């Protein structure tokens, strides 16, 4: 994915340069900021597809920036960097609107892998409820309803559905789905994906047919939704 603009908000100059260098070598276009004030200015100019934000900044918390972006309706994926490692801290970061969390010190390979995963996943869905075929998908509480009744959907089935919905109208490769949902691209995971896609089709459209999930032969799947 070439020339992808990524905002790096990190006050530690050496760490910021390291992250910028790693992302530049991966074919992206990183843009650094050392505090919240400069980060806000860069975000106001727009054009970023991902933000890497340090938790502790000289003029406040990176979580404040996460909250501001989400309150403004900005769906840009956010990766939070922090030395904090407790579960409660990770929960706070995710509740603030972060999409992923990377603990310091980190390996460059892990950083670039997290960035790739977030770029594949695309922007977060801010709408609370979408209509998919005959079904209603409630994203906030991860429920699927058909005719007002709950449809039992497993966590992995919902994860597949969410990956497709994040890139609604665009074909998503099997490899991207496997990496996002299973964390690996193996024969066993691919066989499971086909089974679960079949189950989702039946659950979203019990009348039969392919329903809202379309197969792109030799590549992957896509889905459409209505607000």
- The CA–CA distances, whole Å, from 28 to 11, 80, 115 equal 20, 18, 10
Q: What is the pLDDT of residue 159?
A: 85
pLDDT > 80? residue 210: no
- Within 8 A by CB and 6+ apart from 119, the residues are 1, 4, 49, 50, 77
pLDDT > 60? residue 1: no
Question: What tens digit of pLDDT does each residue of 9-62 get?
Answer: 999 999 999 999 999 999 999 999 999 999 999 999 888 989 999 999 999 999
Q: Classify domain 5-121 at the CATH topology level.
A: Rossmann fold (3.40.50)
- Per CATH, is 129-223 categorized as 1.10.10.10? yes
Q: What is the pTM of this model?
A: 0.64
What does the domain layout of the chain look like in residue ranges? 5-121, 129-223
* H-helix or E-strand spanning residue 11: none
Confidence band for 128, pLDDT divided at 50, 70 and 90 = confident
């Amino acid at each position: 994915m070439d020339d992808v603009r990524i905002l790096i908000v990190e006050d530690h100059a050496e760490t910021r340069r390291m992250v910028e260098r790693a992302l530049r070598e991966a074919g992206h276009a990183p843009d650094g900021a050392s505090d919240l004030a400069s980060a806000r200015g860069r975000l106001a100019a727009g054009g970023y597809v991902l933000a890497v934000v340090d938790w502790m900044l000289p003029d406040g918390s990176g979580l404040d920036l996460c909250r501001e972006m989400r309150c403004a309706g900005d769906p840009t994926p956010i990766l939070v960097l922090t030395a904090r490692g407790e579960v409660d801290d990770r929960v706070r970061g995710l509740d603030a609107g972060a999409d992923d969390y990377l603990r310091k010190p980190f390996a460059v390979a892990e950083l670039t892998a997290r960035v790739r995963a977030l770029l594949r996943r695309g922007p977060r869905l801010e709408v609370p409820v979408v209509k998919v075929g005959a079904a209603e998908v409630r994203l906030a509480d991860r429920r699927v309803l058909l005719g007002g009744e709950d449809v039992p959907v497993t966590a992995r089935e919902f994860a597949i559905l969410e990956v497709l919905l994040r890139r609604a109208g665009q074909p998503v490769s099997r490899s991207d789905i496997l990496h996002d949902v299973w964390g690996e691209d193996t024969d066993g995971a691919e066989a499971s994906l086909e089974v679960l896609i079949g189950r989702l089709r039946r659950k979203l459209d019990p009348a039969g047919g392919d329903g809202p999930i379309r197969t792109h032969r030799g590549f992957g799947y896509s889905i459409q939704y209505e607000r």
